Structure formats: structure tokens, C-alpha cells
Amino acid sequence: MNRISKTLKEKDNILSIYFTAGFPELNSTIEIIKNLVSAGVDMIEIGLPFSDPLADGETIQMSSKIALDNGISTNILFEQLKEIRNHVNIPLIIMGYFNPIFQFGVEEFCKKCNEIGIDGLIIPDLPIDIYLSNYKIIFEKNQLQNIFLITPQTNKKRIEYIDKNSDGFLYVVSSSSITGSTNKFDESSINYFKKLEKMNLSTPKIIGFGISDNENFNTASKYSKGCIVGSAFIKYIQKNGLKNIHNFINQIKIVN
């Protein structure tokens, strides 16, 4: 069983942390992953930097620019991760835009992911129809789950279509804003979560965008299997470095 599916089956209140590969230093990637695992997170999303990150807010754009200036590339990331499964058992997901993956070669990219033990991909700008017609067979061959995003603007019919063609989880974008822009869920976000609940979707949901503290984590976890934290974590390691990651995780979720 794919590690993502296993985690979703066995756990609730899942905490997934996103960070940008190559930030704050080129070779920070493995140290961050090991520290996150030690701190008790349930999944990790490794951001593949891109020069034009349309869905990302100022914080992740900043981290991507620094990572690219540091010299991160797809090849370097794969080299950094080549022995990661000697140290880590939790699900690892690469999140990035389609252009760098296309330039690398989709089949070769997926093959590399499979070789090093990546469990899934999140590609915000890859439409589901293109995925199904052109790339699904490649993902399945390489035991990769493709995680789709749904937003408050995604209509009911489209959500049902995405749900029908999904494995892993649905990445529920909590608002129409870019990443890192929400301090507290407003009434419209809560109503959106409730609407999704009533749809009785077959794919588990994990909520992202705007999760920055324990209050948001607990609220979102009432309506999903858990939460994704990105911008708040990047701000934390920019300010505090990599040595006190446990403190940040405990601010979001009390880990036993």
C-alpha cells in the first residue's frame, strides 16, 4: 500500500509540512526532513522551486527565489534525496509546477521519484483532464499518487469528477487567496468545509492555505483528515534556523 494511503487509513489529525527544497541553504533539505520526522509530523511536502510560482504568496516566492539563487535544481534535489528512505518512513510528496517536470521529462521525473521513494506529486497547474489522458499511466507505473487541488471556486460537478479520479487525498484550498494569506478561517471558509462534508466524497480531504497555529489546525481537522502548513513553517525556519523545529511543530499540534 502506498504510504500516503496507509497514513490516511491509520491516522486522523494529520499534520503535513511543506518546505522549499534548497532553502534556507542549498543543502538544508535532508536536515529539515529528518528534524520534521523527529518532531512527529505525519507527511512532508518538498517544494520544487520555480521562477514563476503563480499560486504562492510572498513567503514561498521568497524561499523559491533564495533556493534558486542557492543553485537548487531538479537533478540536485534528486541527488539529495537518493538515500532518504534509509532514514524516513513517512510519506514524502514533491509539490511543484508542471514546467520544470515537463522540461526534465515527465516519465523520467516519475521514474526518479519511484527510485528514491517519493509517494506522490502535487502539481497545481496540471489539469486533471490532461493528467488522465497523457500521464496517469506513467504515474501508476511508478507507484505515484497525483494529488489534486479543489478550491471554493471549484463547482460541485468538477469536485465530484476530481473525487472520482483521485487517489491519496484531495488538497482542499481553504480560501481563494494565495498561500500564506489567512490568519483565521472566516465564515465563508467554514461554510465551504461544511459543504464538502455534506458531499460525502470518497477521497479523504486535507486542508491547506492559512494554517498557522493550533487553533486553525484544530478547526480544519474537524472537517478533514488533517492540515498542510507551509508559509508559517518557512517563516519560522527563516527566523529561527533548523535546530528548533520541534518547537514550531508543537505550536501547531501537540505531538505525543
Q: Which residues are catalytic?
A: 45, 56
Report the distance separating Cα 119 and Cα 167, nearest Å.
11
Among 219, 201, 217, 204, smallest CA distance to 9 is for 204
SS (H, E, C) 215-233: HHHHHHHCCCCEEEECHHH
Can you state the angle between helices 245-252 and 29-39, rounded to 10 degrees? 50
Residue 98 identity (one-letter amino acid):
F
* Alpha helices in the chain, H assignment, sequence order: 3-10, 29-39, 58-70, 74-81, 98-104, 106-116, 128-130, 136-141, 156-164, 187-198, 214-221, 231-240, 245-252
Q: How many Cβ atoms from other residues are within 10 Å of residue 64's Cβ?
A: 26
Burial of 155: CB neighbours in 10 Å, binned 0-12, 13-18, 19+:
exposed
Three-point CA angle 218, 224, 225, nearest 5°: 90
Report the distance separating Cα 74 and Cα 112, nearest Å.
10
CA atoms within 13 A of residue 81's CA, in its CB half-sphere: 29
